[in-house]
Amino acid sequence: MNKPKHFGRRGFIKITVFAAGGAMVGLPLYKLAEAAEADIVGQRQGSVYSTDAKVYKIRKSQDNPMIKKLYDKDQGFLKDGPGGHKSHELLHTHYTDRSAGVKSLKAKGIKLNI
């Protein structure tokens, strides 16, 4: 086991001056780096959105003509609308909790790779 190092008065002053200098220099540099990162992220996000706008004519599902036709009040298959009974029945999933079976297998000592 290593003995803890003991600093004399000079050593303590050196360490505190070094730490204070590091804080004075490091904090502004950290703020500049953080601002540069935010700028890069903003540029990347802007380029992705502009490329998306150029490549895809339909960017929102509610603007898709096939979806509009599907939910059309007169001729659509899902006439009752996006929140209607038929659309809920066909398009929504249901959750079934199966964790009890996994827990019982683990209790028996069976290792699962999940």
pTM (whole model) above 0.85? no
Judge contact between 80 and 88, C-beta under 8 A.
no
Q: What average pLDDT does the chain have? A: 83
Give 54-80 pLDDT, tens digit per residue.
Answer: 888 888 888 899 989 988 888 888 888
Whole-number Å distance between alpha carbons of 25 and 41 = 25
Whole-number Å distance between alpha carbons of 88 and 104 = 34
Give the pLDDT of the chain (114 residues) as one tens digit per residue. 566 666 677 777 777 877 777 777 766 777 777 788 888 888 999 999 899 888 888 888 888 999 899 888 888 888 888 888 888 888 888 888 988 988 999 899 988 887
- Displacement of CA 96 from its chain's centroid (Å): 26
